[in-house]
A and B are shown apart, each in its own frame.
Chain A
Amino acid sequence: MIKLADIVQWIHQWLTDVLPAFWATIAANALAGIAILSLVLVCVIICVYMERKVAAFMQLRLGPMRVGKWGSLQVLADVIKLLLKESFVPTRADKILFVVAPVLVLTVSLMALAPVSFSDGVQMWDMNIGVLYITAISSLGVIGVLMAGWASNNKFSLVGAMRAGAQIISYELSAALSILAIIAMTGTLSMNELVQSQADGWWIFKGHIPAVIAFVFYVIAATAECNRAPFDLAEAEQELTAGYHTEYSGMQFGMFYLTEYINMIVVSIIASTLFLGGWQPFHIYGFTAFNQVMDYIPQFFWLMGKVFFIIFLMMWFRWTFPRLRIDQLLKLEWKYLMPISLVNLIIAALCTVMGWHF
């Protein structure tokens, strides 16, 4: 069976044969970047289509049906529309910040994908602080949101940005604490080693109750970090028209839209890497035949399957729950999620020290 890692290795070999060492490195990095970028864009397109279809089926309607079979080309049509629209900058806006904000938000969310381990041996950069890097980078995004809200010179945008700031900074805490619970068990921050550590079972199964609690809390905090309903206060359509991106149009708006979905993909990748075994297939101890069948599904698809499962969860939340109020949102984080996460971290540490986990 051809593995993804073999193909990557083969391309790398070919590049080093053809080009001098320096240029080969640059070319390899560029190719890896392009590969990740196109992968993410394809994922986003699938996500947008999936979101509309999931929403539609939850809401007793069909969703996009006209462009292409089952509306499959609808997203493409939307992208073309966004590209052709004028990117309007309001007269009284802070022009530089206004233009930079969406680019910053998008760049930051793409940067977070660098240390992701897509398959065995397929990783752009196996840094030893991978998880820390992702959490650090993804929290930069809030600066772009604040910039957008401030630069728009619109009161709704400002309130939206204010909310986003308060919300993302708060929820990062419980997200990081949930991640730490797993880090405590594995003792590594590298994405690759995290996945390798789950070869004999995913952490959500191995890690006892602390891992389950951490997983649930991480999904909640991640939903909040992505500004998705029921935590979409920064965009709260019924309250703030469109929140921080009220004044954006055309592709500038498109970048915010893209970012939302890339962020979803990033947090889902983290969640599946930490808790659901990344690209590790699902194995049941003792069922050899079953395990072999599972092994035949390529690792890359295992990762994507888990990612889309978590994305589906987030869509399910969005189309079911009403929105929280800002003080309830902060209360939920500071009074419930964070203290429980802290206790959970201590329990996880205890489990690790006593060797209670499997």
Chain B
Amino acid sequence: MEPIINFAADVEKTDEFVVNIGPQHPSTHGVLRFQTTLDGEIIKDIVPIIGYIHRGIEKMTEFLSYKQSIYLTSRMDYLSSFMNNQACALVVEKACGIEVPARAQAIRILMCELQRLASHELWWGSCTMDVGAVTPFFMAFRDRETIMDVFEANTGNRLTTNYILPGGVMMDILPDFIPQVKEILRNLKNFLPEYEALVNGNFIFQKRMKGVGILTKEQAISLGVTGPVARASGISCDVRKLHPYDGYEKLDFKEVVADGCDSWTRYLVRLEEMKQSIHIIEQLIDNIPEGDFRTKTKAVLKAPEGEYYQRVETARGELGVYFVSDGTAKPYRMKFRSPNFSNLAVAKPLNVGAKIGDLIASMATIDLVIPDIDR
């Protein structure tokens, strides 16, 4: 006999329903899908479903030479393509024992920090837009555009720059690079207070951000979160400080760590990081060493047999490149530890029990770039 179902209990239960937020949705900023189980407005469960833009970049590198692999890395996190290039270049340099000229190192850092600024600008615009304010988005794009113009002039591309190669950089900087960057810095120094005046003090914005999307230090460590997200949870994890590369150790900058653990802290950490980036660029812009922008390398690089690992700090966190070489011109296996993939893991602890609006707002402060998750 089937047991008699207790109808009375059923009456009091409210129905849950599953909503797919994504893959086509205005605020997932890419083809990411959140399968959310909702009880009214409250999120009961959330499962991120990825793979819509998987291109097999790791597998493709097995068929390409080391120099060619650089071009694929630009397509992972398209908002930190310089850092991706840099990571791949650094690991190959480490494997092949290539020395990088001081000028190239300075250019790399300049470009990477400009990229970090551009990326955080875009994040600031889209984050505020996800909370519902549209105007800041245009301000962010106004300022980002000037940086993109510099990239376009100097590297030929705006997003997929393919600029940093094993042994240096692709091309030397143009003569008017330095005045242009100085102009950008001058403008940004005026605009950052404007950003703060427009958004930070806004009562509604603070209400939406403060105490929302709590990610405790323990959770952040156990989920392998890196970058500004982890630093806002009080974890010191800036690769530029902990494992300096390309001459970051010579520069004076602070690692921005805060322990508010909520969306608001993540927001402030990124704004502060922009100021630090400006500070780094200011130190370098007048002191770019003379010399070669690239050492001569062999046309086809062959890494000695072995395993190599290098990490860099992208705008979103720690990017690790690990590859195994069998002594030929192509990697035997190349693996990218992308920051966005591990940062995506916070989706569940951050959002279960929150409301739909909170999901959008707190995921905006995680700042995901979807092609980097899927690779």
Cβ of A236 within 8 Å of any chain B Cβ, yes or no, is yes
Task: Please tell me if the beta carbons of B129 and A238 are within 8 angstroms of each other in the complex.
Answer: yes
B131 surroundings in chain A (CB, below 8 A):
238, 322-323
Interface string of B5-30 (1 = CB under 8 A from A): 00000000000010100000111000
Known interface pairs A320-B135, A321-B132, A321-B202. Does A162 touch B207 (Cβ–Cβ under 8 Å)? no
Measured CB to CB, the nearest residue on chain A to B198 is A320
B40 surroundings in chain A (CB, below 8 A):
162
Cβ of B159 within 8 Å of any chain A Cβ, yes or no, is no
Task: Please tell me if the beta carbons of B202 and A322 are within 8 angstroms of each other in the complex.
Answer: yes
Interface string of A128-166 (1 = CB under 8 A from B): 000000000000000000000000000110010011000
Known interface pairs A60-B142, A325-B208. Does A320 touch B356 (Cβ–Cβ under 8 Å)? no
Distance, CA A172 to CA B38, complexed state (A): 28
A323 surroundings in chain B (CB, below 8 A):
131-133, 204, 208, 357
Cβ of B128 within 8 Å of any chain A Cβ, yes or no, is yes
Instruction: Give the contacts of B125-142 with A (CB-CB under 8 A).
Output: 128-135, 137-139, 142
Interface centre among B129, B132, B359 (most CB of A within 10 A): B132
Dominant SS among interface residues on chain B: helix
Task: Please tell me if the beta carbons of B19 and A156 are within 8 angstroms of each other in the complex.
Answer: yes
Distance, CA A163 to CA B41, complexed state (A): 9
Residue in contact with B17 in the complex, picked from A155, A230, A327, CB distance below 8 Å: A155
Measured CB to CB, the nearest residue on chain B to A237 is B26
Residue in contact with A322 in the complex, picked from B19, B26, B204, B358, CB distance below 8 Å: B204
Cβ of B158 within 8 Å of any chain A Cβ, yes or no, is no
Task: Please tell me if the beta carbons of A322 and B133 are within 8 angstroms of each other in the complex.
Answer: yes
Cβ of A326 within 8 Å of any chain B Cβ, yes or no, is yes
Measured CB to CB, the nearest residue on chain B to A331 is B207
Distance, CA A327 to CA B17, complexed state (A): 20
Task: Please tell me if the beta carbons of A322 and B355 are within 8 angstroms of each other in the complex.
Answer: no
Cβ of B360 within 8 Å of any chain A Cβ, yes or no, is yes
Task: Please tell me if the beta carbons of A322 and B138 are within 8 angstroms of each other in the complex.
Answer: no
Task: Please tell me if the beta carbons of A238 and B207 are within 8 angstroms of each other in the complex.
Answer: no
A233 surroundings in chain B (CB, below 8 A):
357
Instruction: Give the contacts of A224-243 with B (CB-CB under 8 A).
Output: 229-230, 232-233, 236-241
Distance, CA A55 to CA B129, complexed state (A): 14
Task: Please tell me if the beta carbons of B202 and A238 are within 8 angstroms of each other in the complex.
Answer: no
Known interface pairs A241-B26, A321-B132. Does A60 touch B139 (Cβ–Cβ under 8 Å)? yes
Contact size range, B: 20 to 34
B208 surroundings in chain A (CB, below 8 A):
322-325, 328
Measured CB to CB, the nearest residue on chain A to B27 is A238
Cβ of A67 within 8 Å of any chain B Cβ, yes or no, is no
Instruction: Give the contacts of B114-155 with A (CB-CB under 8 A).
Output: 128-135, 137-139, 142
Interface centre among A230, A233, A239, A328 (most CB of B within 10 A): A239
Residue in contact with A241 in the complex, picked from B25, B41, B199, B358, CB distance below 8 Å: B25
Distance, CA A237 to CA B356, complexed state (A): 12
Distance, CA A233 to CA B357, complexed state (A): 9
Cβ of B253 within 8 Å of any chain A Cβ, yes or no, is no
Known interface pairs A237-B26, A239-B356, A241-B25. Does A321 touch B133 (Cβ–Cβ under 8 Å)? yes
A59 surroundings in chain B (CB, below 8 A):
134-135, 137-139
Distance, CA A59 to CA B134, complexed state (A): 8
Chain B's nearest CB lies how many Å from the CB of A138?
Answer: 24
A237 surroundings in chain B (CB, below 8 A):
26
Known interface pairs A238-B129, A239-B27. Does A324 touch B204 (Cβ–Cβ under 8 Å)? yes
Cβ of B205 within 8 Å of any chain A Cβ, yes or no, is yes
Chain A's nearest CB lies how many Å from the CB of B170?
Answer: 33
Interface string of B329-354 (1 = CB under 8 A from A): 00000000000000000000000000
B128 surroundings in chain A (CB, below 8 A):
322
Distance, CA A319 to CA B135, complexed state (A): 6
A232 surroundings in chain B (CB, below 8 A):
132
Measured CB to CB, the nearest residue on chain B to A329 is B357
13 A-B pairs, CB-CB below 8 angstroms? A55-B134, A59-B134, A163-B41, A229-B132, A233-B357, A240-B356, A319-B135, A321-B202, A322-B205, A324-B207, A326-B41, A326-B357, A328-B207
User: Beyond the given A238-B26, A323-B133, A325-B355, could you list 14 further A-B residue pairs with CB under 8 A, ordered by the A residue number?
Assistant: A59-B138, A60-B142, A155-B17, A156-B19, A159-B19, A159-B356, A230-B204, A236-B132, A239-B360, A322-B132, A323-B204, A324-B207, A324-B208, A328-B204
Q: Which residues of A contact B (CB under 8 A)?
A: 55, 58-61, 155-156, 159, 162-163, 229-230, 232-233, 236-241, 319-328
> Lowest 6 CB-CB distances: which A-B pairs, in order?
A323-B132, A59-B138, A322-B133, A238-B27, A322-B131, A325-B357
Q: Which residues of B contact A (CB under 8 A)?
A: 17, 19, 25-27, 38, 40-41, 128-135, 137-139, 142, 199, 202, 204-205, 207-208, 355-361
